[in-house]
Structure 1
Amino acid sequence: MADQIIRELCSSQKLERDRGFHSFVKHIDSLESEDVNSLEQDVSKLFIEDSSWEKKHGGLMAAKALLTCGKSSDDFAVDMRSQALKYLDNNEFRVRIAAGETLGALCKIVGPAVYENSKSAILEGIRSNLERERLSVSSQQEQEETEKLMEKLSSSPARKSSVDAEQIFHDTAGWKSLETWMKCLQSIVDNCGHLFNDCVDQELLNLIFQALDHTNRFVRETGYYVCASLVSIGVKGKETLSLEEENAVYRHGDQFAKYMAKGLADNWSQVRLASSVATRKFLQSLPTEEAKAKFYPTLIPRMCLNRYYVAEGVRIYSQDTWRMVTDGDGKHLVEKYIDYVVSYYIEATGADNHAVREAACACIAELGSKIDRKFVRPFVPQLLEALLICFNDDSWPVRDAACVACGNFVLCFPEESRSSMPALYPLFYSNLQDNIPSVRQGAALAIANVAQVYGQESHEEILKKVKEGIEGIKNQPETTEKYSDLDKGPATYSVVKKLRDNDMDLHTDKQMYSCGSLAPKMLRGSRGGGCMDHQFRKPSEPWELADGCIHLIAELSHNPELIPTVSDLLPSLAKSASLHHYNHHVNYLETLCKQLPNIAKNLGKRYFKPHLEEFFDSIFYSITCDNALTASAASQCLNRLSGFLGPSILRGRVEQYNPRYMEMLNANQFIAPL
């Protein structure tokens, strides 16, 4: 039976190897000590020089299982230590990983002595692999593959020189066996636990920190996971260790905090996530709040920002970490360290990574809306200045976030923001006619905040802009040529994507990139790649400004002072919706149908009902159009208006206006409340 299990354990198929390992573990549990000795001899035979990598891998996995079960002999443990060290530099990745896990299993039963006896070999293995220039190519095939990748990068039109290609190669390529040496160290630390405290010295830390400073993102990522294991050793059940004498994590805490902060701001999401894992464990390893507070000025601002980071894994993990670490006191911690928080947020608005700039704008908006105003007020001019710069960003999500943040600051700090309004008005209006629908919505919300705060002094200018926007749709050209009006600039997803998706010339025999991993990074003010094609920016068209004005009318209708004035705009709005001479009129009608019930509810029946019939032609036209989104929006519009006015009232008004519309109205049986 043992022979069959070992054959499965050494199979060339992974499924069989996994099944063999589980069978081997079960088999060990059923054996007596003398039978285990015989099994040890069978396992040792797998490590002959000419055996395949599958046999060596199977032997190491079997050794790990035997060591873990607690029935293995001392001689076998000594032999497996030498075998594991031997195969840590094997050509096969899976063998190297298994060798590291075997050393970790030895540490579980023997303790840190295994590390002390292997320290020089492990640290030298990491040190010698940290620099690619020191590596010798292990095979002709590996050398050829490396040269091909370098050549491919150099020939890309996006690369201006071979230096560019070399840097990208060093940033993203695999780093031979460095990762497995690091994982071996991680396995040792995990299995030694708090006993590893005495093994933490400056030599070890310098080597790990060297990995955290490495140009290659995979090396940095692995380094932070090693750090996550290392900072966990400060925890010894629920006992309180002497911070300075016994807790190596606290003793070297300043260095750890410095590198945690660096990783939390890394340009690569995977590295940022690995650092987030290490940061959580680092803070949880410290036994008292006083011990944690020493490192809060460095870590709190970066932890805060990552709660809004665009990568979902980083964002959700950071939000969970924030709840765990602050225990519901996060707001007061931000207020306590507000100087550090504001300084980092402003610094982040100038980051090369557009995702960081977007998150920084969202965080600044949060400061205005959630933090006690007496703490934020001294920093309002600095924060607004940073947001004004982001308002002109190449990346539309950054512009959108900056616009919303400015609107929040105007609402929360009207007097402090007043001096910035001459610069803000043109920027708000620019976003109101942006190519991206969500940007137009954000601008409408921000402008409505301005109207609410500054009252009559702002109403005239804003309403004038709304009227001009709605009436300007008559100047909308019937069609737009393919690319004649496109200027270089940030990506405009909804426009450029529709225009360019089916252009075969743009998608044939072109360089491919892996989700931005090898594409040129999108720096502030640059014109380079990332995951999006932001080489084109389509100039705004009259219908887009009118579309933004619909959103703005819906927002302004919340303001009781503006209800009569907004109701006076409805005839112009209905007239603009009756124009169907341009390609995008269905998109405009979709927005109208979505917002009309909201406008009706905010204005109330008294101000809305006199203008109801003026929109019937546009609504029923939308129901019959070929655009599914517009037709659906029109159908829901009728249902919601029916819920607001009453089914019988709506039916009576429709029948009186045009009896032919009754058939379509009858098809909308469901009445949705507003």
Structure 2
Amino acid sequence: MDFSTVDLALSSLTRRHPPLSTEVLNLSSRLTSLLHSSLPSPFPKSERDDDDGEYVRGALRLIELGSSSSLSSNKAMTTNDGGVPVRWESLAVGLLLVVDYLAKRTNELRPHRVIGVYADGPRIPEISPPFPPAEEEEEEDEEKMKTKTTTKTMIGHDGAPIIDAKSPVFVLMMSLPSIVDANVEHPEPRVRSLVARTVGAHALYATSLLDVVDDVGRRSSSLASAIRDVQDGRRRIHSAILRSLKRHMRMKAPIGDDNASKASDGALDDTTGWRALETNLNALASYVDGCVGGKSPDGAGGGSYVAEEGSLFLLGGTFAPDYDEDDDRAWFLHGLRDCCVSHVNRHVRAAGAALLGAIVESCVRSPDAVIRDTLLLGGCDGRVVWNVCASNVDAITFRSVIGDALRANLADNWSQVRMAGSVLCRGYAMALMEMAKKEDDGGGDGGGEEDGGGITAFEDALGDLVPMLLPRMCLNRFYLAQGVKLYSQETWRLVFGPPTSSLSSSSSSSSSSSSSSSHPEHELHSSEGSRGGGGLGAVSRNAAPICRYYSKMCDADNHAVREAACQGVAELAQKVGTHPIYAECLSPYVTMLLQALLMCFHDESWPVRDEACLACGTFCIAYPDECRPELPILFERWTEQLTDQIWSVREDAAVALGDAIVAYGPDMLEKVLTVIRRSIPSAKNQPAMSREEYKRLQNDAAAHTGTQLYSCGSLAPKLKKGGAVVTAAAVAPPNPPGDAATSSSRKSGAGRIGCMSCFIDRPRSPWEATDGCVYLLRELCVRFANMDVLSDVVVLGDDVLLPLMTELADVCRLSHYPQSDDLRTTLWKQLPPIAEALGKRRFKGLYLDLFVDLLAKNLDGSSGSGASQLSIHAAGQCAEELATLIGIGVFRGRLVETGGQGVFDRVMEERKRLHQMEVASGRCGGAMSFSPFGPPVSRPV
């Protein structure tokens, strides 16, 4: 079934197998024709009502054909009174038709509003924009203007009112309460989801009618009576949802055989035991979001859910008269908190957070300032007692429920729950900040920095929630799930304002570093004129809870959380640690953060090791004295990472060692040079192997049969902490004495499992140590080899660099092992930045001839050398960049002795055509630069 549009849903009925009844198929055909031939508003109202009436009757008939009074969760299909099997498909499509129809009718009442109902679970909600709180006293001319506008929207082009008491929409509205009551616990989850949307559409249209009830009451008593009947039906729907919600909140675990059904309406995941709890929460959220109208003549609410149903948030209130169960409503807040915080099912937790967000929006729309302030701020007012006596230990407030939900949801292991928590966090924070701003404006103080005591508006508005909320907001800006990460970054900008002057990162940081903290979209920022120092000031003032939270998350079960925590720690060092004012705020916690990072060096997830490595280097620059006691351990870890099996880990280890040289000067440089001299020749120790042998080893069926399967979407493997991890050293062949390249970098039992099986990882290869040295040489050249820049730290002269580059060129000529192409690929990718750092004259005179013959050989892919396409591409890109640097004619002349001029000319011609194609495609909407080393990147033309 396709429920994306009404057309597709109706057409889906004809494709179901086994086929649906003839009546259902005929109704589908007729409704499709009515949908495409619906008359626009300029036509007479009587003709429109005829079509609308048939359309409404058809939708209700579809619902009737798909409904049964004997629906059972233990059967896939039931039978109606005539013994004909009842299929849920027609019921679902009928509900979708109702939602679409009511949305169109609501648009007639609110032509300038964006209408939508939130029933999308943890996704960013598409809801009707929040309406400003109604003022208690309005000016008389404004009231007259509102009445005039309302009257105009109620009149059609033919002079007849858009609705009257006999309009088909009222027939539909009066039928829906019983339909919702009968299907709110339907065994098919797709039906329950559509019931939730129907509830929202009904509430939205019903409360929209309240905007016109004053005017129509004077013109038509029958219409006013019909509108009151609709409001009664809306409240019956609300009562039905609450009854079902209360019953399902009492269910603690799946019961009986509910999980063993083969039918689609019984084969749910772990939501089955709670049946309709998730969809009930979504239905109530839709209902809350739909209450947007004004007040009815009898004084009942409708403009805001919390104004109409305030007793739900009392700990000792009474139900509405039509609610026939226990009149104690204290269960609602307790049950909602349990759904958000401790429920075992992630869908329920996400739905609970969505409901809280809808209630917050309802508070913003509330015309009653007492209710709004009491719920959002957690205070009391003399007119209403919102808390029971202090002796009641179970007493909770709505604000405390939100706080508990945010604490749990923003740190939840499931991304969809984090997303729901992020939506709630933004809505609640923005609501409180807007309330604080209005209060400051009303007091005439202007809301300046003096009023907030030197703190940000966020800290002023959130108060005691800041120490809990801010660490989670910071970490989620680095979370692996893109939706959570991007939404959290945007929330940060909304809360603290756009950055006007970002703090520059350390000047010694390499431009090639892959540290995510160097990306501006992640950065803390501070504006010169911002209140309280912006986000950077808020983080500095709350350094203690943030550092404690980051340290705890570095030991979390989820590898994605550990990775994000390491990135957050690196950001603290880079932004707070280098700030002239705020650096001292972080100093007391440097040791604690370093210990957390050192623990992550043992992680079985290589992205975690990667980020921990970079973060430690950044800390050494920001706090060299505090890091000095840990320097021997750090240096050992960095050099081990330099030989890791993952190339990006080796590259970032080189970046971290470059940071260490910046922090500790010539002494550290000598240690690094010793490592380079020892490790560059390591590739010579790589065992000989032909490409055919290597392919046979990779495709050995016996090595890939009968092993444990792991899914990237599975949580089971990646949440376990390491206990008896078999390291590479345990399974690798004996290593030559003193050979650091093949030793294990992780201790038994120290790591945690990543997203795949890491109980056994392959031994490190000697050539990988040489590969790490290529990145390290790049770092030394880029940072310290520029003779024209006077530096008090270190300067790398040719007397040191030339022997190292000569030995590297010799080692890269080896081809007795299949991974030699990978080593040369790394060389060609790093040689252009090395040449640029050394300068045109210096590189051309001393270093070019070391590599030109090897480069020419690698360029020719048709020579039978067996070079991989990646190395050929990298060689071509390297040749182009070097030729551009020193001159194409000069570079081509150096190829005379190698005989590579023809190959070079062909490669340059191919790359020229590629650039021309990019320019041509750019004229048609933007050029895309493609490289096998990364995703397409948009280039300005």
TM-score, length of structure 1 as denominator length: 0.83
Q: Which residue of 2 aligns with 1:165?
A: none
- Residue from 245, 250, 267 that aligns with 2:377: 250
- Residue from 747, 770, 794 that aligns with 1:546: 770
Q: Which residue of 1 aligns with 2:559?
A: 354
Q: Secondary structure at the match of 1:449?
A: helix
1:613 aligns with 2:849: yes
- Residue 597 of structure 2 aligns with an amino acid whose one-letter code is L
- Residue from 618, 621, 627 that aligns with 1:408: 618
1:188 aligns with 2:287: yes
Q: Following superposition of structure 1 onto structure 2, how do residues 132-143 of structure 1 map, counting pairs within 5 Å?
A: 133=253, 135=255, 141-142=261-262
Greater Cα offset, 613-622 or 408-417: 613-622
Q: Secondary structure at the match of 1:399?
A: helix
- Residue 521 of structure 1 aligns with an amino acid whose one-letter code is K
Q: Which residue of 2 aligns with 1:585?
A: 820
2: CA distance, partners of 1:268 / 1:124: 29
Q: CA deviation at 1:302?
A: 0.7
1:334 aligns with 2:539: yes
Q: Which residue of 2 aligns with 1:387?
A: 597
> For the structure 1 residues 64 and 581, does the alpha-carbon distance in structure 2 shift closer, same or farther, using more than 3 Å as the test?
closer
Count residues in correspondence: 630
- Residue from 344, 356, 362 that aligns with 1:227: 356
2: CA distance, partners of 1:318 / 1:41: 46
CA contact (8 A) 2:718 2:756 kept: no
1: CA distance, partners of 2:627 / 2:710: 44
- Residue 339 of structure 1 aligns with an amino acid whose one-letter code is A
CA contact (8 A) 1:554 1:599 kept: yes
Q: CA deviation at 1:416?
A: 1.4
- Residue 562 of structure 1 aligns with an amino acid whose one-letter code is L
2: CA distance, partners of 1:562 / 1:664: 35
Unaligned runs of 5+ in 2: 1-6, 17-24, 69-79, 81-85, 106-162, 208-230, 293-302, 314-329, 379-397, 437-456, 499-533, 726-751, 786-794, 916-941
Q: Which residue of 2 aligns with 1:426?
A: 636
Cα root mean square deviation, aligned: 3.7
1:103 aligns with 2:339: no
Q: CA deviation at 1:127?
A: 3.7
Q: Secondary structure at the match of 1:667?
A: helix
CA contact (8 A) 2:478 2:564 kept: yes
Q: Secondary structure at the match of 2:644?
A: coil
TM-score, length of structure 2 as denominator length: 0.61
CA contact (8 A) 2:600 2:612 kept: yes
> For the structure 1 residues 236 and 181, does the alpha-carbon distance in structure 2 shift closer, same or farther, using more than 3 Å as the test?
closer
2: CA distance, partners of 1:400 / 1:338: 24
2: CA distance, partners of 1:411 / 1:602: 22
- Residue from 6, 23, 32 that aligns with 2:35: 23
1: CA distance, partners of 2:36 / 2:180: 19
Q: Which residue of 1 aligns with 2:447?
A: none
Q: CA deviation at 1:216?
A: 1.3
Greater Cα offset, 300-309 or 83-92: 83-92
Q: Secondary structure at the match of 1:435?
A: coil
2: CA distance, partners of 1:275 / 1:110: 29
2: CA distance, partners of 1:442 / 1:113: 65
Q: Which residue of 2 aligns with 1:488?
A: none
> For the structure 1 residues 467 and 499, does the alpha-carbon distance in structure 2 shift closer, same or farther, using more than 3 Å as the test?
farther
2: CA distance, partners of 1:640 / 1:347: 46
Q: Which residue of 2 aligns with 1:129?
A: 248
Q: Which residue of 1 aligns with 2:124?
A: none
Q: Secondary structure at the match of 2:616?
A: helix
Q: Following superposition of structure 1 onto structure 2, how do residues 37-436 of structure 1 map, counting pairs within 5 Å?
A: 45=61, 46-47=63-64, 49=68, 50=80, 52-64=87-99, 69=105, 71-72=167-168, 77-111=173-207, 116-130=235-249, 131=251, 133=253, 135=255, 141-142=261-262, 170=270, 176-193=275-292, 195-198=304-307, 199=309, 200-201=312-313, 202-212=330-340, 213-236=342-365, 242=369, 246=373, 248-251=375-378, 252-286=398-432, 287-288=435-436, 289=457, 290-328=460-498, 329-371=534-576, 372=579, 373-436=583-646
Q: Secondary structure at the match of 2:797?
A: helix
1: CA distance, partners of 2:859 / 2:831: 15
2: CA distance, partners of 1:222 / 1:91: 18
Q: Secondary structure at the match of 1:562?
A: coil
Q: CA deviation at 1:255?
A: 2.3
Q: Secondary structure at the match of 2:719?
A: coil
Q: CA deviation at 1:585?
A: 0.8
1:479 aligns with 2:689: yes
- Residue 57 of structure 1 aligns with an amino acid whose one-letter code is A
1: CA distance, partners of 2:696 / 2:538: 48
- Residue 248 of structure 1 aligns with an amino acid whose one-letter code is L
Identity of aligned residues (%): 32
CA contact (8 A) 1:89 1:177 kept: yes
2: CA distance, partners of 1:298 / 1:11: 50
Greater Cα offset, 524-533 or 82-91: 524-533
CA contact (8 A) 1:258 1:298 kept: no
Q: CA deviation at 1:503?
A: 4.3
Q: CA deviation at 1:66?
A: 6.0
CA contact (8 A) 2:289 2:358 kept: yes
1:629 aligns with 2:664: no
Cα offsets for 1:587-624 (capped at 9, x unmatched): 11111111122222222345432232122232123223
> For the structure 1 residues 463 and 229, does the alpha-carbon distance in structure 2 shift closer, same or farther, using more than 3 Å as the test?
same
2: CA distance, partners of 1:62 / 1:668: 61
Unaligned runs of 5+ in 1: 150-168, 484-494
Greater Cα offset, 551-560 or 328-337: 328-337
1:594 aligns with 2:606: no
Pick the structure with greater CA Rg.
Answer: 2
- Residue 428 of structure 2 aligns with an amino acid whose one-letter code is F
CA contact (8 A) 2:621 2:659 kept: yes
Q: CA deviation at 1:76?
A: 5.3
Q: CA deviation at 1:332?
A: 2.1
Q: CA deviation at 1:132?
A: 6.2
> For the structure 1 residues 144 and 95, does the alpha-carbon distance in structure 2 shift closer, same or farther, using more than 3 Å as the test?
closer
Greater Cα offset, 467-476 or 541-550: 467-476
Q: CA deviation at 1:365?
A: 0.5
2: CA distance, partners of 1:366 / 1:78: 58
Cα offsets for 1:276-310 (capped at 9, x unmatched): 12211221222224333443222111111111111
Q: CA deviation at 1:58?
A: 4.5
Q: Which residue of 1 aligns with 2:903?
A: 664
- Residue from 511, 521, 529 that aligns with 2:718: 521
Q: CA deviation at 1:431?
A: 0.4
Cα offsets for 1:315-374 (capped at 9, x unmatched): 111111111122133222212222221111111101000110000001110111112322
Q: CA deviation at 1:60?
A: 3.7
> For the structure 1 residues 173 and 412, does the alpha-carbon distance in structure 2 shift closer, same or farther, using more than 3 Å as the test?
farther
> For the structure 1 residues 41 and 559, does the alpha-carbon distance in structure 2 shift closer, same or farther, using more than 3 Å as the test?
closer
| Bigger helix fraction | 1
Greater Cα offset, 404-413 or 432-441: 404-413
Cα offsets for 1:434-487 (capped at 9, x unmatched): 00000000000000111122111112111010011112322221139999xxxx
Greater Cα offset, 526-535 or 629-638: 526-535
Q: CA deviation at 1:311?
A: 1.3
- Residue 346 of structure 1 aligns with an amino acid whose one-letter code is S
Q: CA deviation at 1:65?
A: 5.5
Q: Which residue of 2 aligns with 1:650?
A: 891
